[in-house]
Amino acid sequence: MVQSIEQLKLTATVLRKRILSTAYYKKQGHVGGSLSCADILVSLFFHHLSIDPSNPKWEDRDRFVLSKGHTALGLYATLALRGYISEEELKTFDQYESRLQAHPDMTKLDALDMSTGSLGQGLSAAVGMAIGAKRLKKGFDVYCLIGDGESQEGQIWEAANIAGKYKLDNLIVIMDQNGLQQYGWKNDHGRMKPESNGKRKFDSFGFETWEVDGHCMEDLIDVLTEVKSIRNGRPKAIIANTTKGKGVHFMENNYVWHSKAPNDEEYILALTELEKRG
Amino acid sequence: MSISVRDQFGKHLAQLAQDDSKVLALDGDLGNSTRLDSIEKETVDSFLQMGIAEQNMVGVAAGLASIGSQPWVCSFATFLTKRALDQIVVSVAQTKFDVKLVGSYSGLLTSNTGKTHHSLDDIAIMTTIPNMTVIAPGDAGETVAAMNAMHKTGGPMYLRLTRDETIPLFLPDAEFEIGKGKTLTEGTDVLIVTTGSTTYRVAEAIKQLVDMSIAHQHFPTLKPFDKELLLEGARKVQLVVTVEEHYIRGGLGSIVSEILSEELPKRVYRIGVPDRFFGCGTDEELLEASGLSVEKIKKSIGALSSKYF
């Protein structure tokens, strides 16, 4: 499925509504980070990735690893819109024995390429997939979405080091740089950014890097298209500048919304705001 | 001619990799110690250097397994099982990937390197992880048989190996089935239960304890544990003794005590490494200090016999 830019923008708004309605219904979920990566998820799943919802284990599909596993809510809502699971099943999010575990569990849901939730681990698995694809001479790419807070884990940089060593130009790391983590460090303006040198750091590990507005659909599609066309022996990193809680003004840039569900009043306010946009 | 456990491990993994392109060796920069370097020397491209970064190495193995490879991840036992523990749990055990984890240099015999390199809690750690199979072969021949079984059987497994160069090929048969123990000698006074590197030294001690009727069982698989064999052996004796090159808590002695306390209450005496850190020393010095030399094992069992019989 390849949607036009206009369709993608509409889909992103619908996705934000699904994220909020699911969190509201279940009274939990990591809303802030799910909203920050919503446009990235839409650009991948509705335009860019070579995937087939009717055959989730298709051998030659592009792989996607959500290393920032706590935003499973955003991924599940995306999978529902894309037809991997029913809209109805979203209501089982975070429920005992549900396929939609609080953090992605690949043993429960076919659509997931990796189980994550303990931060820092997904990128290593993505590196393994990319090495494996090269060994098997497979043409698929491996996409890994990491968080800026998550990048405080040393394992992210262990993985980056190996990606450079093995010249994994089939690996694309996207950092959802939303500028906040669960709690972090206090400063004069509220909270410090978890990471502000992501581009320079990935550069130093031998990556080809880009920095984009992670909420601008045109820019996301442009950069993903460019990234796909390059095979130069270097792994790739896209630093996507985003806003935590994007789309709902009172959730934006507020660390409190890292993991919090809206109450009745907040939910109506949020939906009204999104309706106006979409 | 005898071959050490680690030499045999490297040689046989190279063979498996030559026969099956799915088999890969991931090294944490210790290949020339663990003998994983054989794979680099003897195969075209089955060897992947992952550098000194165990957490990433385990994660990469999970990713490789997800697209059909069978990675064998090898490092010193203590670094693999403790530095990368959460990665082993989340990326390998919870996903049930076909990743083989090889802890070389387990126990105290780590070539004079001291407490930072000793691995005396890895059985405790690895046997508590769901989906994880834990194997500790007794000699080089059994190492080959265990590796063949691991290669054929999917899923996360931990192979605990010793650097001890003195263990000859002594086990009577090279048969190996995951989850099965072996009775090495029959006896009616005491049952001695061992695993891995300790089995040889205990077998030597038993040979010298001629005035006792000693049964000896060797359990190369610690998880799943061959409960039936243990109960069958324990029924015939008054006392059960476990011996292991591992901390006294959490290893074989604990496994045996747990089973017998529920199924067949019986006195169990555990011989293992005391609850403290050990400095560097030669293999002989460390075995002597921890009570695991042939001589010390013989004395401990002899003392028990005079106490109980």
Which phi-psi region, left, alpha or beta, contains residue B35 (left: φ > 0; alpha: ψ -120 to 50)?
left
Place of tokens 């989850």: B179
In angstroms, the CA B140 to CA B122 distance is: 20
Is A105 in contact with B94 (Cβ distance < 8 A)?
yes
For A206, left (φ over 0), alpha (ψ -120 to 50), or beta? Answer: left
pLDDT of residue A50: 98
Q: Rounded distance, CA B87 to CA B220, Å? A: 25
Would you kindly state where each structural domain of chain B is located, as residue ranges?
A: 5-160, 182-303
| Single-letter amino acid, residue B2 | S
Residue B306 pLDDT class (50, 70, 90 cuts):
confident
Would you give the end-to-end CA distance of chain B in angstroms? 40
Q: Does B58 touch chain A (CB under 8 A)?
A: yes
Using an 8 Å CB-CB cutoff, list chain B residues near A162: 50-51, 53, 56, 60
Q: Check: CB of residue A35 under 8 Å from CB of residue A251.
A: yes
Q: Is B85 an interface residue toward A (CB < 8 Å)?
A: no
**pLDDT category, B1, cuts 50, 70, 90?**
low
Nearest-Cα residue of chain A relative to residue B50: A162
Domains B5-160 and B182-303 share a fold: yes
Residue B2's pLDDT band (cuts 50, 70, 90)? confident
Quote the CA–CA distance of A179 and A176 in Å, as a whole number. Answer: 9
Distance, in angstroms, between B67 CA and closest chain A CA? 7
Nearest residue of A to residue B55, measured between CA atoms: A155
Chain B residue with Cα closest to A131 = B64
Partner residue facing A115 (CB), from B64, B68, B90: B90
- Residues recorded for chain B: 309
| Cα B33 to Cα A170: distance, rounded to the nearest angstrom | 33
Rounded Cα–Cα distance for residues A161 and A204 (Å): 9
| Band of pLDDT at residue B305, cut at 50, 70 and 90 | confident
| Dist CA A183 CA B241 (whole Å) | 52
Q: How many CB pairs under 8 A join A and B?
A: 104
Q: Looking at the complex, does the CB of residue A115 fall below 8 Å from at least one CB of chain B?
A: yes
Query: Running DSSP on this structure, what letter comes out for residue B83?
Result: I
Contact flag B68-A113 (C-beta cutoff 8 Å): no
Hey, how many other C-beta atoms are within 10 angstroms of the C-beta on A86?
10
Q: Does A101 touch chain B (CB under 8 A)?
A: no
Closest to B87 measured CA to CA, from B33, B143, B34, B125 = B125
Question: For position A278, what pLDDT does the model report?
Answer: 62
A chain contacts of residue B91, beta-carbon cutoff 8 Å = 114-115, 121, 124-125
Query: B210 touching A, CB under 8 A?
Result: no
pLDDT at B175: 85
Q: What is the mean pLDDT of residues B17-29?
A: 98
Full 3-state SS string of chain A: CCCCHHHHHHHHHHHHHHHHHHHHHHCCCCHHHHHHCHHHHHHHHHHHCCCCCCCCCCCCCCEEEECCHHHHHHHHHHHHHHCCCCCHHHHHCCCCCCCCCCCCCCCCCCCCCCCCCCCCCHHHHHHHHHHHHHHCCCCCCEEEEEECCHHHCHHHHHHHHHHHHCCCCCEEEEEEECCCCCCCCEECCEECCCCCCHHHHHHHCCCEEEEEECCCHHHHHHHHHHHHHCCCCCCEEEEEECCCCCCCCCCCCCHHHHHCCCCHHHHHHHHHHHHHHC
Q: In this complex, do B45 and A123 lie within 8 Å of one another by their Cβ atoms?
A: no
- Residue A79 has phi, psi (to 5 degrees) of -65, -35
Helix axes B294-308, B283-290, angle to 10 degrees: 20
Residue B236: pLDDT band by 50, 70, 90 thresholds? very high
Per-residue pLDDT tens over the stretch B97-142: 999 999 999 999 999 999 999 999 999 999 999 999 999 999 999 9
Q: Which residues contact B103 (CB under 8 A, 6 or more apart)?
A: B75, B76, B77, B78, B80, B81, B119, B122, B158, B159, B160, B161
Distance of residue B59 Cα from the nearest chain A Cα, in angstroms: 5
CA distance A250 to chain B (A): 35
Whether A255 contacts A182, CB under 8 Å: yes
* 3 state DSSP class of B15: helix
> How far away is chain A from the Cα of B66, in angstroms, using its nearest Cα?
7
CATH superfamily entry for domain B5-160: Thiamin diphosphate (ThDP)-binding fold, Pyr/PP domains (3.40.50.970)
Whether a cis peptide bond, with omega within 30° of 0, leads into B172 is: no
Cα separation, B211 vs B185, in Å, equals 14
Rounded Cα gap, residues B127 and B8, in angstroms:
25
Q: Report the C-alpha dihedral over residues A221, A67, A157, A174, rounded to 10 degrees.
A: 10
Which residue among A105, A117, A125 sits closest to B63, beta carbon to beta carbon?
A125
The whole-number pLDDT of residue A175 equals 98
Q: Is B67 on the interface with A (CB under 8 A)?
A: yes
pLDDT at B188 exceeding the cut of 80? yes
* Phi/psi at A136 (5° precision): -85, 5
Q: What is the pLDDT of residue B173?
A: 78
* Whether A165 and B48 lie within 8 Å, measured CB to CB: no
Q: CB–CB of A162 and B50 under 8 A?
A: yes
Query: What number does CATH give the domain B182-303?
Result: 3.40.50.920
Pairing of strands B157-160, B133-135: parallel
- B284 φ/ψ angles, rounded to the nearest 5 degrees: -60, -45
> What is the enclosing helix (H) or strand (E) of B97?
none
Taking residues B256-283, what's their average pLDDT? 97
* Nearest CB neighbour to B67, from listed A124, A133, A161: A133
* Chain A CB within 8 Å of residue B202 CB: no
In tens digits, chain A (278 residues) has pLDDT values of 789 999 999 999 999 999 999 999 999 999 999 999 999 999 999 999 999 999 999 999 999 999 999 999 999 999 999 999 999 999 999 999 999 999 999 999 999 999 999 999 999 999 999 999 999 999 999 999 999 999 999 999 999 999 999 999 999 999 999 999 999 999 988 899 999 899 999 999 999 999 999 999 999 999 999 999 999 999 999 999 999 999 999 999 999 999 999 999 999 999 999 998 76
Other residues' Cβ atoms within 10 Å of the Cβ of residue A5: 14
From A127's Cα to the closest Cα of chain B, the distance in A is: 6
Distance CA B75, CA B52 (A): 9
Q: pLDDT digits over B52-101, tens only? A: 999 999 999 999 999 999 999 999 999 999 999 999 999 999 999 999 99
Give the up-direction half-sphere exposure of residue A112: CA atoms within 13 A in the CB hemisphere.
Answer: 24
Distance CA B120, CA B115 (A): 10
B20, B58, B60, B94, best to mutate vs chain A, most A CBs in 10 Å:
B60
The CA distance from B277 to B55, in Å, is: 24
Beta carbons of B57 and B26 less than 8 angstroms apart: yes
pLDDT confidence of residue B252: 98
Residues 6+ apart with CB under 8 A from A219: A212, A213
Please, which residues 212-251 of chain B have a Cβ atom closer than 8 Å to chain A? none
User: How far is A91 from A109, CA to CA, in rounded Å?
Assistant: 15
CB of B66 within 8 Å of a chain A CB? The answer is yes
Judge: B60–A113 Cβ closer than 8 Å, yes or no.
no
Residue type (1 letter), A35:
L
